[in-house]
């Protein structure tokens, strides 16, 4: 049931949310979840989910609390799971531990849960409430929640530009438009992403690694995740013409690379961590729409896009971008420089996609702008 929450309730849920953030670089494809157990106004147990296959937040909190969990209130950032996956259901664990009440920030849209966890609690006579700091909890797991609700990943399109909206000189020179702090900021987004999307054109032109450069992350992040340096997002490369070769830098990091095309293709000459995604389109479906559905099936929560103007424009035109993240450098490149994105069939102002500004902050000498589609 829902009920008015006290400032103390909000403080304990905020603590749970802060704990959940400790897993945001490592939990994919699972959500980031935190749990706090409180008895007589005192925190007796706390935990967060660190990695898929490892104990969930509730289990970690119950372990810390021990017998003190009996009669406690559990503050959880996401409805306790109700199904057996790689770990037992947390809702039953809370029942067996004898907690008296569970407050969840939000319901879990995963069809395997979707209210069933709360029902287990109710059937056991445990009081529950939902909705405390729900918006904060939504922001924490945007990728997981979108995939559960739509079957597709949350798409973040990263763009770097000059003040006059250019991304490179006419020659293609673009290193570096933005400063070192902005590039380090990008590494945090890469590290949180399930996958990075680019194109064979970008790979041929720039030969990027498209990996997480952990050494550029802030000291507190590096200290916390030193043991996770090998976790890299999947690199997804659109390569219909099969131009990508195995000697490119994208294969120098031993983590999955998925080449995407629409016809049969052999990966004989590629490293064993390479896979090929042959897209089978449904009637009326574009290549990019088919790709998003396939990535959702492969448990990609958040897709970070770093590519040229053509793919950027196509994603925007097909309304596939959930969030625009733009780094604006204090430079002017002139009218001969390359444009930010190519929007097809845009002939009048009324057709221009409209975006809503979410945040604006300086990152070194650059400016980071975050927009969502309005």
Q: How far apart are CA 215 and CA 198, in angstroms?
A: 22
Q: How far apart are CA 239 and CA 274, in angstroms?
A: 13
Non-local (6+) Cβ contacts of 182 within 8 A are 160, 327, 329, 363, 364, 366, 368
Q: What does CATH list as the number for 151-373?
A: 3.40.430.10
pLDDT reported for residue 233? 95
- Both tokens of residue 199? 């194109």
Residue 368 banded pLDDT, cuts 50, 70, 90? very high
90 in a known ligand binding site: yes
pLDDT digits (tens, 9 = 90+) for 297-349: 999 999 999 988 999 999 999 999 999 999 999 999 998 888 888 887 778 88
Which of 3, 42, 58, 79 is an active site residue? 58
Listed by start position, the domains of the chain span 7-138, 151-373
Average pLDDT of the chain to the nearest whole number: 90
pLDDT digits (tens, 9 = 90+) for 128-148: 999 999 999 999 999 999 999
Of residues 12, 191, 204, the one with CA closest to residue 104: 12
Phi, psi of 367 (to 5 degrees): -125, 125
Q: C-alpha angle with apex 257: 252 to 261, nearest 5 degrees?
A: 130
pLDDT reported for residue 229? 47
Q: How far apart are CA 332 and CA 370, in angstroms?
A: 21
- Is the model's pLDDT at 270 over the cut of 60? yes
- Is the model's pLDDT at 222 over the cut of 60? no
Residue with tokens 């959880």: 76
Q: What does CATH list as the number for 7-138?
A: 3.40.140.10
Of the listed ranges 184-193, 244-253, 334-343, the least confidently predicted one is 334-343
Q: How far apart are CA 295 and CA 348, in angstroms?
A: 33
210 in a known ligand binding site: yes
137 in a known ligand binding site: no
pLDDT digits (tens, 9 = 90+) for 160-177: 999 999 988 888 777 788
Residue 2 banded pLDDT, cuts 50, 70, 90? low
Q: How far apart are CA 142 and CA 138, in angstroms?
A: 6
73 forms bridges with which residues in the sheet?
Answer: 38, 101
pLDDT reported for residue 87? 66
- Both tokens of residue 251? 């294969």
Between β-strands 366-373 and 127-130, what pairing exists: parallel, antiparallel or unpaired? unpaired
235 forms bridges with which residues in the sheet?
Answer: 196, 257
Percent with pLDDT over 70 in the chain: 94
Residue 252 banded pLDDT, cuts 50, 70, 90? very high
- Both tokens of residue 190? 């890469």
- Does residue 117 sit in helix, strand or coil? helix
Of residues 267, 283, 264, the one with CA closest to residue 275: 267
Of residues 164, 141, 144, 160, the one with CA closest to residue 152: 144
- Both tokens of residue 200? 């064979």
Residue 285 banded pLDDT, cuts 50, 70, 90? confident
The yes-or-no answer on residue 173 being catalytic is no
Of the listed ranges 65-69, 206-210, 348-352, the least confidently predicted one is 348-352
190 in a known ligand binding site: yes
312 in a known ligand binding site: yes
174 in a known ligand binding site: yes
291 in a known ligand binding site: no
pLDDT reported for residue 225? 56
Phi, psi of 312 (to 5 degrees): -55, -50
Q: What is the DSSP string of 198-259?
A: EEHHHHHHH----S--GGGS-HHHHHHTGGGTT--PEEEEE-TT----TTSGGGSS-S-EEE
- Both tokens of residue 300? 């990609």
pLDDT reported for residue 158? 97
Mean pLDDT of 241-246: 93
pLDDT reported for residue 3? 61
Pair 138, 305: CB distance under 8 Å: no
311 in a known ligand binding site: yes
Other Cβ atoms closer than 10 A to 255: 14
pLDDT reported for residue 299? 96
Long-range contacts of 329-333 (CB under 8 A, 24+ apart): 329/160, 329/161, 329/162, 329/163, 329/177, 329/178, 329/179, 329/182, 329/365, 329/366, 330/163, 330/365, 330/366, 331/162, 331/163, 331/177, 332/162, 332/163, 332/164, 333/162, 333/164, 333/166, 333/168, 333/169
Percent with pLDDT over 90 in the chain: 68
pLDDT reported for residue 349? 87
Q: How far apart are CA 163 and CA 273, in angstroms?
A: 40
195 forms bridges with which residues in the sheet?
Answer: 234, 303
């Amino acid at each position: 049931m829902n009920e008015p929450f006290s400032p103390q309730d909000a403080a304990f849920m905020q603590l749970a949310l802060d704990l959940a953030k400790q897993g945001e670089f490592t939990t994919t494809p699972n959500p980031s979840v935190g749990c706090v157990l409180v008895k007589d106004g005192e925190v007796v147990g706390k935990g967060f989910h660190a990695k898929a296959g490892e104990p969930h937040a509730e289990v970690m909190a119950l372990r810390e609390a021990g017998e003190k969990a009996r009669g406690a209130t559990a503050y959880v950032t996401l409805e306790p799971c109700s199904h057996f996956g790689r770990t037992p259901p947390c809702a039953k664990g809370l029942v067996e531990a004898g907690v008296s009440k569970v407050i969840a920030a939000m319901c879990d849209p995963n069809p395997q849960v979707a209210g069933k966890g709360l029902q287990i609690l109710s059937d056991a006579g445990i009081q529950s409430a939902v909705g405390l700091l729900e918006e904060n909890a939504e922001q924490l797991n945007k990728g997981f929640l979108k995939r559960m609700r739509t079957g597709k990943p949350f798409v973040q399109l990263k763009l770097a530009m000059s003040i006059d909206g250019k991304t490179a000189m006419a020659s293609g020179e673009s290193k570096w438009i933005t400063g070192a702090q902005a590039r380090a900021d990008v590494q945090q987004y890469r590290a949180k992403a399930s996958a990075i999307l680019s194109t064979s054109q970008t790979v041929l032109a720039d030969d990027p690694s498209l990996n997480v450069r952990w050494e550029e992350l802030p000291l507190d992040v590096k200290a916390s995740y030193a043991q996770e340096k090998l976790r890299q997002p999947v690199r997804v490369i659109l390569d219909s013409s099969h131009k990508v070769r195995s000697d490119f830098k994208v294969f120098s990091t031993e983590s999955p690379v998925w080449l995407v095309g629409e016809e049969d293709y052999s990966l004989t000459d590629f490293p064993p961590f390479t896979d090929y995604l042959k897209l089978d389109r449904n009637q009326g479906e574009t290549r990019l729409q088919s790709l998003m559905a396939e990535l959702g099936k492969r448990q990609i929560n958040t897709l970070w896009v770093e590519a040229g103007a053509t793919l950027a424009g196509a994603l925007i035109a097909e309304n596939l971008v959930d969030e625009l993240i733009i780094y604006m450098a204090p430079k002017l490149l002139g009218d001969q420089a390359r444009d930010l994105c190519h929007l097809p069939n845009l002939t009048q102002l009324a057709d221009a996609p409209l975006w809503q500004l979410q945040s604006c902050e300086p990152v070194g000498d650059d400016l980071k702008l975050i927009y969502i589609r309005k």
